[in-house]
Structure 1
Amino acid sequence: MPQTPAQEIRVVGRFEDDISIAVVIPTYNEAENIGNIVQQLFDLKIDSLGVLFVDDSSPDGTGEIADGLANQHLGRIVVAHRSGKLGLGTAYIAGFKMALDAGAAHIVQMDCDLSHPPSEVPQMITSLQHADVVVGTRYSDGGAVDPHWKMSRVLLSKWANYGIRAILGLKIHDATGGFKAFNRNALEAIDLNRLTITGFGFQVEVAHRTQRCGLEIIEHPYMFVERTAGKSKMSIQIAVEAFWRLTLLRIKAN
């Protein structure tokens, strides 16, 4: 399990009892985006929706802005402050566990940079009536990537995704995507304590676990939009590490 016992979490806010949909959003240096994503999510007018931020001590003040939003929207925003930059995977695990402990029936995971359109959330939640997991996909019919991407980046993304799917034998088209919705039974079934990858490969490991557990998975096409503010966290080193860890995951699975 990637989350260490020594990890300290300070929590600001709590969900009201009527919050049944928890949107889990890890943050690190997202001060320019966090207010916007809260506004867009709450503009959906879903009374049962709450937002759970997991901030890794962002030096740009993201955590303090999140606290202000939690005080502004009492009962609808929770902020989990962690002691340092501890990895995307552990951030999601911490957020998922908090959402389950709060009684959420449905959990959505998405990025803070608005590359995952909040406008797609209602349909993904509706689709959970017919599936255990809904995976946002850029690479099936109806999905797309930012039209401003250079062709070299589009091809790199598609081939990397194809390679990862081949390594693990995944059936979904977008194995690396971080836009997903779960019924609580799905997160309980995959056993969060068994997840081991802390970085970029975490998204793929979750997809792998959901498939191996025999959960009902459907795909939801959407257009991935490049962030307009802040800086991407992706690097070549992170991607190489992910491929290595995923190859080991396939070996162990066999």
Structure 2
Amino acid sequence: SQPRPLSIATVSAGNFNLQLDVKGYGTHSGNRGPSIRAGGEGNAAGVNAVEKAILVVQALQQLEQEWGITKSHPAFPAGIFSMVPGVFHGDAGVPSVGYLAESATIGYLVWYPPNEGPEAVKAEIERHVHHAAQLDSWLRQNPPRFRWESHWPVFDTPADHPLVKLLVADRADVLGEIPAGLPQTHSFNAVCDASFIAAKGIPVVAMGPGDLRCAHAVNEYVDLAEIASCARILARTIVGWCGAA
């Protein structure tokens, strides 16, 4: 089921910022014909890095489809673990269409499940791209370069942790009981600073106003009523957890 307002999230995905650099052989765009047509010079006439980078994107889209089956977690909706090609740039050193691109870079955000190790996920991606590169005469000799620029780890607090139980009860006091048969907690389908607190051995739970469907969008907004309700819930939990009178 979809997370409801002020859902209590006990587990998050992890992510990587991956930059993939693809090398080409930049020459005048008039060389495109002999570089790609039968009877031409092939790679010796020029190699368009943009098109070679598209081959890499297609390979990772294939792997992403496999992830829809192979990567899952009971707390998360199906298909959430994915690879987002959010940035694509290629040129010959100048922003002109008069050349075959000398280089191209694809920027990815990779979402992986909390029940898999980050190093294994990285190795799987690199292995898949390597195998795809073997099918291309240029990429076989000039493999894409991986730059794993950042890693955001997961957090995963057991749903039966006393902190979670207390927050669930306090939410019910303010907003009413969640109907029987529906989940009391949800996954956090993004990342937040709770991961770094959890890494210090401190139990964490994420809860707050807002909706991921409009997060970082031009119309991003928060319902003011949710802010007030969240404050009431957190006040109860802080007092209960800290043992204040």
For Structure 1 versus Structure 2, the TM-score category normalised by the shorter chain is under 0.3
Larger radius of gyration: 2
